A = this chain, B = another copy of it.
Amino acid sequence: MRDVFIVGVGQTPVSKETEVRGRHRAAAAVKTALAAAGLEPARVGALYVGNMMSGLLANQQQLGGLIADYAGLAGIEALTVEAACASGGAAARVGYLAVAGGAHDVVVVCGLERMTHVDRDTVTRALATAADQELEGAGGESFLSLNAQLMRAYMEKYRVRAEDFAPFAVTAHRNAVTNPNALLRKQIDVDGYLASRVVSDPLRLLDASPICDGSAALVLASADVAATLPNAPRVRVDASAAATAPLALSRRSDPLKLEAVEASTERALVQARIQRRDLDLFELHDAYTIMSILTLESGGFAKPGTAARLAAEGRIDLDGDLPIATFGGLKARGHPVGATGCYQLAEAYLQLAAAGGANQVRDAELALVQNIGGTGATVVSHVLRRVA
């Protein structure tokens, strides 16, 4: 397989702009990414769109062709990739396959979600389609209730207290303050976390990522094309790996072990030929604080029951040894579902390109980026490396 580079990214600010149609937002992200790469639309071979809920919330499917048209790429190969909240990462996976395999020299990956133009109940029901409808959704489970289940089980098993979850939210919010594309640019503290409303016991509002709109895009290119872009930072995709687990928690042997996180992380590290300690940052999928914890433990970054300590000790901060959510994460940058995986990759790219501004992780060279669908059912991991 050929080397694949990210040669440009485009982010629209995550927001709650109910009147902005998805096609226009996505087209803006694609155009920004192409301009950043310095590539004309005519150079693009394909567009892969990550989206989960446009059919359900906007009566619009076939986003591939639609966005290609509105982004000035009419005629090219285009399709939509869906893997619930991992749709953006899964679209990047397909983009990687197309460039690494030699089918295209340049592709654009665009994640998009629009959620704020409908009421909260409608969004909640739409999000629940990521769960097993027979075993979970039809019984009234939502992603709040499923994550609350996991959080409760974790707290009971490891005797962990509510305040132990707080540092994940606090860190994310701190990093969002200086990210112009973040939705929640507001510092919080542990007291604020503890005072926040319990929305599904024991899960608090500040354990959860917000409902929002967003689109982010990446331009992937072969080494040959990347070499013609002298001003582009050299950020290579050293691994692209996906894994799945049964959707329903009841079909897993141990719901507190995210087996797809374990498998996807392991595959990515092997592909990139690195160890966990080599990583300079980890853009993980902090849709809920419990997801951060289970990810760190299932991914082998902390022993079961101990991940909260990483946060308490500041090791996940920008100057820690494993920074996470460096631009605010899903928690505070926001989690526009199908777009999230592309925001994560765009942010990791900025870190490796030394373009992180106030959020820069010092000397960042190697990043793991992980996008999760459902309660760990689909996990897509990418390793990015800055090369000379």
Please list the residues of chain A having a beta carbon within 8 angstroms of any beta carbon in chain B.
Answer: 1, 21, 23, 46, 52-53, 55-56, 58-66, 68-69, 74-84, 86, 90, 93-94, 97-98, 100-103, 125-126, 128-130, 132-134, 137-138, 240-247, 251, 259-260, 263, 373-374, 377-378
Contact = CB atoms under 8 A, between A and B. Distances in A.
| Chain A contact surface mostly | mixed
B263 A75 contact: yes
B251 A61 contact: no
- The number of times this chain is found in the oligomer is 2
B21 A134 contact: yes
Contacts of A46: 242
A101 to B, nearest CB: 2
Contacts of A1: 101-103
A137 B78 contact: no
Nearest to A63: B82
Contacts of A66: 132, 246-247, 377
Contact of A59 (B59, B76, B129): B129
A377 B97 contact: no
Contacts of A130: 61-62
25 contacts: A1-B101, A21-B134, A23-B134, A55-B129, A59-B128, A61-B84, A62-B129, A64-B82, A64-B83, A65-B244, A65-B245, A65-B373, A66-B132, A66-B246, A69-B247, A69-B251, A74-B244, A75-B263, A77-B242, A77-B243, A78-B378, A79-B86, A79-B93, A80-B81, A97-B101
A360 B64 CA distance: 36
